[in-house]
Amino acid sequence: MSRLSSRHLLGIKDLTSEDLQLILETAANFKEVINRPIKKVPSLRDITIANVFFENSTRTKLSFELAEKRLSADVVNFSSSNSSVKKGESLVDTVNNILSMKVDMVVMRHSSPGAPHFLSRNVKANIINAGDGTHEHPTQALLDSFSIQEKLGDVAGKKVAIIGDILHSRVALSNIFCLQKLGAEVMVCGPITLLPKHIASLGVKVELDVKKALQWCDVANVLRIQLERQQIKYFPSMREYSLYYGIDKAMLDELDKEIVIMHPGPINRGVELNSDVADSEQSIILHQVENGVAVRMAVLYLLAGAN
């Protein structure tokens, strides 16, 4: 198999396990490319890509832009904060105006779940979901799985605990789908107020005690508290959350094995992770950032060939 089953990347849920393996294999090739002295390849020389971000982003936007430039694509950046969206222009009109300038692919982040799916049904370009509200963030899940594979040799058979604000996290849902399709066991852990009501129906284990979750897992993927998405208080204070769910080096030293620590960023140091964990030898957080470029290069390359 050398082509994806879809011409869009809207979510991990829509991909087959063969699609995931193809993306990870292609990413491994591009990882080699970005570590060469000359990091550029002419693969997308005739392709124009628009990065359309309706929400703030640092890592994802930079990572996509760098991936596009490494592939020699022409890049257009769009930010809703200084656009006609402020004047009442609709999402479809905004994107169609961009596409009328002969743009081939759209990378989009939006606060509304399902926005990329809606767009894919209404415009002709390839759509890549860079995060839609609390729904999915497929390229983050792909780079997380790629990082686990790189560190531990394989994803299949590994135990991965996703710890933190599961309720508001698009990273959590995409990771659950991706890890399960690649053969991993998944556990979610957090305060019961931050766990979706029917999360167990996705086939994941549910744990409220962070120490038990750490003892169970091979990999802990720790999520931040997404205060910007919370309309009500889900726990008394950040200090209390840190006291019960914050991870420090002493907790890791108590375990009878060494586990891998991951975080999609940005880290709230002293809340979900102490610096002695985030900067430890067990942490692969910066490797995740590096791998993000290779994985996004793979996605762009494969979707460009899907037309």
pLDDT for res 230 = 55
Q: From CA 19, how far away is CA 142, in angstroms rounded?
A: 11
Q: Tens digit of pLDDT for each residue in 62-88?
A: 999 999 999 999 999 987 765 555 557
pLDDT recorded at residue 226: 74
Q: Is 170 labeled as ligand-binding?
A: yes
Could you tell me if 66 and 73 are in contact, meaning their C-beta atoms sit under 8 angstroms apart? no
Q: How far is CA 208 from CA 171, 191, 194, in A?
A: 19, 6, 10
Cα gap 302→307, rounded to integer Å: 10
pLDDT at 231: 60
**Helix axes of 138-152 and 17-34: crossing angle, nearest 10 degrees:** 70
pLDDT in tens, 151-195: 999 999 999 999 999 999 999 999 999 999 999 999 999 999 999
Looking at the chain, which runs of residues are DSSP E strands?
48-53, 74-79, 105-110, 126-132, 159-163, 185-189, 205-207, 219-222, 260-262
Asked whether residue 59 is marked as a ligand-binding residue, the answer is yes
pLDDT at 99: 85
For the chain, residues with pLDDT lower than 50 are none
**pLDDT of amino acid 42:** 97
Report phi then psi at 70, rounded to 5.
-65, -30
Q: Where are the alpha helices (DSSP H) in 35-90?
A: 59-70
CA angle 283, 284, 290 (to 5 degrees): 150
Q: How far is CA 70 from CA 64, 66, 158, in A?
A: 10, 6, 32
Distance of alpha carbon 300 from the chain centroid: 15
* pLDDT at residue number 120: 93
CA 35 to chain CA centroid, nearest Å: 22
How would you classify residue 270: left for phi > 0, otherwise alpha for psi between -120 and 50, otherwise beta?
left
pLDDT of residue 83: 58
Phi first, then psi: give them for residue 291, nearest 5 degrees: -65, -25
Residue 109, annotated ligand binder?
yes
60 is in an annotated binding site: yes
Q: Is 266 assigned to a binding site?
A: yes
